[in-house]
Structure 1
Amino acid sequence: MPNKAVIAPKSTEKKKGFMPFFVAAIAGILAPGAYLLGYSYYEGYMNAFGVETDGFPVSAPNVYVLSYQTVGYFLLSIGEVVVKALDGLLVAPIIYWAFGALGLSVGGIFWLLKAIRKEPHPLVQRFFEQVKRIISWLHWENNDFTKSIGIVGVASYSLVLLASVLISIALFWWLLPLSAYAKGKEVAANRIELFREKGCHPDPKSKWDNCFFIVDETGRQVHEGLLIAMNDSFVAILKKDGSYLLKRKDGYLLRRQLH
């Protein structure tokens, strides 16, 4: 019986490209970046109340939620800046100038296209021929001096670009957490200012009181104020004269009034 050639099955495995490594690298950068962003916001928020974060550690999922919230604040701020810029541009004198410049640009390009299609004057034609000769002589394929300048220029530009990218990444890595810290502090400062102006009052939308009340085992109210943070051991609240760190007791209850 004649021998039959055995054809090996084609491999179904696909070659891995650059994309999985790129996605993994981005994820490796974004995860700690998002954590740093959320925790910086939390630190700024607690610092505005005069409370240290060491006594009220926050879980990683909550940090990422705060990071998502902080990014939302940043996007809202950017949106406000864009809206204000558009409002400033869409006024009578500026918009007329903009439409005028657009019309002149369209007219200039239209005239240039018409001029290119016409037969050029002999003097103009000789001028462009001279320019082409000079450009051809200066081309890096025909001139070693131009080639040397090009190599040095590209190398210098690459070094400057690399240094600029590294500096930008470093600034971006530090400026975002600082901005998140400032945003958390700003949000807390707004709550403190409202509390100082109006004291304990119901929210007009949710109808819940903005303050929490600490009640002892006899039902007597011992403290009231804004709830800053709480855990199994301590409760931090803001009262009219400052922030208080209270040790939790078995008989104490936290109560919030619904109006």
Structure 2
Amino acid sequence: MSEELESVKETKQEKGGFKLHHYIAVIGLFGPAIYLFGLRYYQGLLYEFGVDNSSFPIAAHEAYIYAYYATTHIIDALFIEGWAWLTSLSVLEVISIPLLSVGGLYIFAKRRDLPKPSFEGWFGQLLTKLWNYLHWENNKLTQALVLTGLGSYVVLSILYLLIVLGFAWLLIPYAAYSVGKSSAESRIDDYLDPEKGCAALEGKRWGPCKALLSSDGKVMYEGILILHSGNLISFFTREGAFVTTFPPGGVIRNKLSGKP
């Protein structure tokens, strides 16, 4: 008896472990997708700034961080667009949409209480006989047509699903790349705007610009700090984009708002 119980426990454990492995495998598929998402965002960002991404290779954990940045940008854009659409609606539309939705759900929930249509007379009897004759439980041809239709539907559904997944695999990285470019383009436009430039936004303590100072305090570059990785540093200024080695004893300065 004890041996049988132990065998049952081992079988359950094996089944549970098998399911757990499946879940882990599915979750593991998201890792490369998130990495590619963050990498494409990073590449789009550097491309718009005019910097070759080969100068600043990134590790996997950095790509995950950039994927988080890209996701926040997309969520912000969706929220802004959704709020703009909501505020563009009239009061009547705002009230009618939830009322129609609730009313439709109520009718759907109470559909069994609605009177069922009934056919009477010779025409109704004819329809009933025709239905019984063509029903798949009584007609082999109908069974074959139903099975063929269901099989075709399943095959086409799988095909469409693969096509959608293929497009998603192409469009999602492209979306991340576009978001990276858009983020860099917005920063460049603000920087090149004569009224904005390096000035901090109202209520902000720090401006968007930084300066690279040499060991003797001389300003080497001043503008948007794109990246600083290892001994390389990249700036975007009004003259263009620059990638240079970090000077010995150099300092990155970030001025307070309103300071000369």
Structure 1 length-normalised TM: 0.81
1:76-95 superposed matches below 5 A: 76-92=76-92, 95=95
Q: Distance in 2 between matches of 1:97 and 1:69?
A: 34
Asked if residue 185 in structure 1 is aligned to residue 191 in structure 2, the reply is: no
Q: What is the Cα-based RMSD across aligned positions, in Å?
A: 3.3
Amino acid at match of 2:249: G
Q: Distance in 1 between matches of 2:252 and 2:97?
A: 63
Q: Taking structure 1 as reference, are residues 201 and 105 closer, same or farther at Cα in structure 2, changes over 3 Å only?
A: closer
Could you say what secondary structure the match of 2:15 adopts?
Answer: coil
Q: Distance in 1 between matches of 2:206 and 2:54?
A: 29
Asked if residue 223 in structure 1 is aligned to residue 218 in structure 2, the reply is: no
Could you say what secondary structure the match of 1:152 adopts?
Answer: helix
1:29-48 superposed matches below 5 A: 29-48=29-48
Asked if residue 246 in structure 1 is aligned to residue 241 in structure 2, the reply is: no
Q: Distance in 2 between matches of 1:136 and 1:157?
A: 25
Asked if residue 8 in structure 1 is aligned to residue 19 in structure 2, the reply is: no
Could you say what secondary structure the match of 2:120 adopts?
Answer: helix
Structure 2, unmatched stretches of 5+, are none
Q: Taking structure 1 as reference, are residues 205 and 31 closer, same or farther at Cα in structure 2, changes over 3 Å only?
A: farther
Alignment deviations for residues 114-172 of structure 1 (CA, whole Å, 9 cap, x no partner): 6559xx7xx72665444333222112221111111112111211111011000000111
Q: Taking structure 1 as reference, are residues 124 and 103 closer, same or farther at Cα in structure 2, changes over 3 Å only?
A: farther
2:170 matched to which residue of 1? Answer: 174
Q: Distance in 2 between matches of 1:189 and 1:244?
A: 17
2:70 matched to which residue of 1? Answer: 70
2:156 matched to which residue of 1? Answer: 160
Aligned partners of 1:202 and 1:208 also within 8 Å:
yes
Q: What count of residue pairs does the alignment treat as equivalent?
A: 250
Could you say what secondary structure the match of 1:141 adopts?
Answer: coil
Q: Distance in 1 between matches of 2:132 and 2:83?
A: 50
1:96-245 superposed matches below 5 A: 113=113, 115-116=115-116, 124=120, 127-197=123-193, 198-245=196-243
Amino acid at match of 1:62: E
Q: Distance in 1 between matches of 2:148 and 2:199?
A: 70
Structure 1 or 2, whichever has the larger Rg, is 1
Alignment deviations for residues 57-94 of structure 1 (CA, whole Å, 9 cap, x no partner): 12211211111222222233333343344444554368
Amino acid at match of 2:159: A
Alignment deviations for residues 15-38 of structure 1 (CA, whole Å, 9 cap, x no partner): 425642442232122110000000
Structure 2 length-normalised TM: 0.81
Q: Distance in 2 between matches of 1:199 and 1:104?
A: 54
Q: Taking structure 1 as reference, are residues 70 and 154 closer, same or farther at Cα in structure 2, changes over 3 Å only?
A: same
1:15-34 superposed matches below 5 A: 15-17=14-16, 19-34=19-34
Q: Taking structure 1 as reference, are residues 82 and 212 closer, same or farther at Cα in structure 2, changes over 3 Å only?
A: closer
Aligned partners of 1:89 and 1:95 also within 8 Å:
no
2:60 matched to which residue of 1? Answer: 60
Q: Distance in 1 between matches of 2:183 and 2:110?
A: 54
1:3 matched to which residue of 2? Answer: none
Q: Distance in 2 between matches of 1:80 and 1:207?
A: 25
Q: Taking structure 1 as reference, are residues 76 and 257 closer, same or farther at Cα in structure 2, changes over 3 Å only?
A: closer
